[in-house]
């Protein structure tokens, strides 16, 4: 049994591209993560590990499509990882793109179902990414599936929609980012005056009425619902 401190020097050496020290298989991705016992950790993903993930994700998604066929009727939002501001653009954009976990042909298929473009990950800050995500989600009236690992992340997005209600209404009416969001200049803003009108009429109360008004076709939210996440999953439900 070992902890990250035993490996971090070798990971950093391999990450810098000087040598392949952790495996005889090329490392395709380094995913930043953190925990209660140490600060930021870079987890190496080689192709064999990505293949194992695909072997788990594919039957899971097939089962979801069978159990909840309504998710086929609209767009999806996935957020499996969220890169903090101080790590953005540090290595490659792939650390922000969760579709990179899948084979190329599945990425091609999945990218056509996404409600939020992956380019939001290239924003300068995580706050700008969050605001752009909220704008795209509100603009997507045919959202049918949300997949987040933590229910608190989904709740925080709903709270953000409440806190930034006037700004989101402005963006969806104009189809332009305000000057204060300069880190989104590479990304086209969504435009949906009908969604803006619905959001503008919202009284600000977070409720099932509000979410069904925004996303009438939402068929499923996938998130943790056990252990310490149970209370938040119940609130999200």
pLDDT digits (tens, 9 = 90+) for 104-122: 556 656 666 889 988 887 7
Beta-sheet strand order (sheet of 75-79): 75-79, 143-148, 220-222
Residue identified by tokens 């600060």 is 39
Q: Is residue 129, in this structure, part of any structural domain at all?
A: yes
Q: Is 131 within a domain?
A: yes
Task: For residue range 142-162, list pLDDT tens digits in order.
Answer: 999 999 888 999 999 999 999
In a domain, 39, yes or no: no
Structurally, the chain folds into a number of domains equal to 1
Residues 6+ apart with CB under 8 A from 171: 135, 177, 178, 189, 190
Give the pLDDT score at 92.
Answer: 45
Q: Which residues form the domain of 213?
A: 68-236
What's the pLDDT at 106?
A: 67
Name the DSSP letter for residue 190. P
Quickly state the pLDDT bin for 24 (edges 50, 70, 90).
Answer: confident
Per the CB < 8 A criterion, the answer to whether 139 and 174 are in contact is: no
User: Model's pTM, two decimal places?
Assistant: 0.81
Q: Report if residue 125 sits inside a domain.
A: yes
CB distance 41 to 35 below 8 Å: yes
Q: Encode pLDDT of 36-77 as tens digits.
A: 555 778 888 888 888 898 888 889 889 999 999 999 999 999
Q: Is residue 188 in a domain?
A: yes
Whether the CB-CB separation of 135 and 171 falls below 8 Å is answered with: yes
* Residue 117 belongs to a domain: yes
Structure tokens at 192: 């949906």
Structural domain includes residue 31: no
Question: Is 157 within the bounds of a domain?
Answer: yes
Across 191-216, average pLDDT: 93
CB-count burial class (<10 Å; 0-12, 13-18, 19+) for 149: middle
């Amino acid at each position: 049994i070992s902890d990250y401190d035993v490996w971090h020097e070798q990971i950093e050496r391999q990450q810098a591209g000087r040598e392949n020290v952790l495996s005889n298989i090329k490392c395709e991705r380094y995913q930043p993560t953190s925990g209660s016992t140490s600060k930021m950790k870079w987890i190496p993903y080689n192709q064999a590990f990505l293949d194992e993930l695909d072997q788990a994700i594919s039957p899971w998604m097939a089962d979801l499509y069978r159990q909840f066929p309504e998710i086929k009727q609209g767009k999806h939002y996935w957020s499996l990882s969220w890169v903090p501001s101080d790590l953005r653009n540090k290595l490659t954009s792939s650390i922000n793109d969760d579709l990179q976990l899948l084979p190329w042909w599945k990425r091609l298929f999945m990218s056509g179902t996404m409600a939020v473009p992956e380019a939001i990950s290239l924003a300068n800050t995580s706050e700008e990414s969050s605001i752009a995500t909220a704008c795209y989600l509100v603009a997507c009236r045919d959202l049918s599936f949300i997949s987040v690992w933590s229910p608190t992340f989904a709740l925080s997005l709903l709270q953000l929609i409440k806190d930034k209600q006037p700004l989101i209404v402005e963006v969806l009416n104009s189809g332009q980012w305000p000057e204060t969001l300069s880190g989104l200049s590479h990304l086209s803003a969504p435009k949906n005056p009908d969604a803006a009108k619905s959001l503008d009429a919202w009284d600000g109360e977070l409720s099932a009425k509000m979410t069904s008004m925004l996303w009438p076709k939402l068929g499923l939210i996938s998130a943790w619902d056990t252990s310490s996440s149970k209370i938040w999953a119940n609130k999200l439900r």
